[in-house]
Structure formats: structure tokens, C-alpha cells
Amino acid sequence: MFHKEGHQIIMTSFVIAAAIALAAEYRLGDQYVLKIVLQLFSLIQLILVLQFFRNPKRETPKNENHLIAPVDGKVVIIQEVFEKEYFKDQRLQVSIFMSPLNVHVTRYTMSGTVKFSKYHPGKYLVAWHPKSSELNERTTIVLNNETFGEVLYRQIAGAVARRIVNYAEVGGSVVQGEDAGFIKFGSRVDLFLPLGTPLDVALNDTVKGGVQILAHKA
């Protein structure tokens, strides 16, 4: 199953791969090695695109006392920081880095109401760069519910990413684990939680979006 945001890119990649393979077959004649190299290249690029846009079905164990991981990836930051865009106070930041091999679907970490949603154009620093959360292309979304209050998550584009898709609309109601968007080709997601929120993950843990518990209510 592939994410809808990848359908056009997948079709284009398929056409390109087929064109390269056919051109190599009929135009290179007895240049066997070069022909095979080009055909393998076309197949590999198609496989890479397919794996990037995969969208595995996940059953979220919905629980109002849990925050779930919004994406697949590696926990690269856990620290108290001053969040200056929305809260303008100290928050607990948890950042998850996604490599190009990870599933790049963003899922809602909790059910609730969308209080804030804003897109920021920007640069394309590598996603682990300390300034990427302030300078890169990104979206900032704030969800609110009775259990956790307001929780902010930020989709951050990486060095390769060139488009962030965000489905959260201010005033809308969202459901934990459902599709919240997509980041195309490399990225990071930061979450900003109330101070003192008990975490169920540690630095350098690998998490699975939509199913793994990230934090819980004390």
C-alpha cells in the first residue's frame, strides 16, 4: 500500500524506469554490460521510490493517557528547551529523525482539536542540524485535549525534502494514529510536551509511528 502523496511520483518513476529499460534493450545492441547496468539502475530507482512512499496499515491502540510516536525513526533529542513560536516558555522536546529508508507518514500523536497550524518556508539543512527546526521548511501544529492540554509537533524538511504535506486544519478534530501528513524525502519531527511528562522512550531508541507509546500521563 502506498501513500496518496506518492501516486504521481510513483507513476512518473515507473514511466522513466520503463523508458530507460526499453531504450537500453533496443538501442545498445550487443553492449551487454552497459545495457544491464542501465536496466538495473532503472529498477533500483523505482524500488527506492516505492519503498519511500509505502504506507503500511497500522492499528493504533487508542488511549487518551498515551502519546504515540507520530513517525518511524530514531529518537535524537530529549531535552528541556524554550519553545519560542507558540508557547513561549519551557517545554520538553522529543525529536525523531527519519532516514530515507523509514516510512515517512506523519500520524496524530493524540486525539483532540487542532488549535494552531502554520507553514514556514525555509532552507534545507540536514535534518539533524541544530538550527534545522528554526531555519528549514517546516510546519507547526498544536493539538489540544483534556488529558495532556496543548502538545505541539513540528514537521521539518531535511536536506533532500522539498515538500511537507500537512492535513491539520485549525478547529478540526483529529483522531490518534490517523494520517496527519507526509514529508517527502528525508526529515524530522519535533514534539514539545509539558514539562514533567513521563516518557516511554530514551535517546537513540528506534520508534514505530502510530503504534509505539512515546509518553504517558503521570
Write the pLDDT tens digit of every residue in 29-84: 778 788 788 888 888 878 877 777 777 888 898 999 999 999 999 999 999 999 99
Q: For 195-209, what is each residue's pLDDT tens digit?
A: 999 999 999 999 999
Name the catalytic one among 13, 42, 132, 187: 187
Q: What digits encode the pLDDT tens for the residues 155-181?
A: 988 655 557 889 999 999 999 999 999
Q: What is the pLDDT of residues 107-148, one digit of tens each?
A: 999 999 999 999 998 765 655 555 556 667 889 999 999 999
Sign, CA dihedral 139-140-146-147, equals positive
Here the cell at position 73 is 525513526
Is residue 53 within a helix (H) or strand (E), and if so which, with residue range?
Answer: none
Instruction: From 134, 121, 130, select the one nearest 162 (Cα to Cα).
Output: 121
Could you report the per-residue pLDDT of 80-96, keeping only the tens digit for each?
A: 999 999 999 999 999 99
What local confidence, expressed as pLDDT, does residue 135 receive? 64
Active site (annotated) includes residue 187: yes
Residues facing 191 on adjacent strands: 94, 153
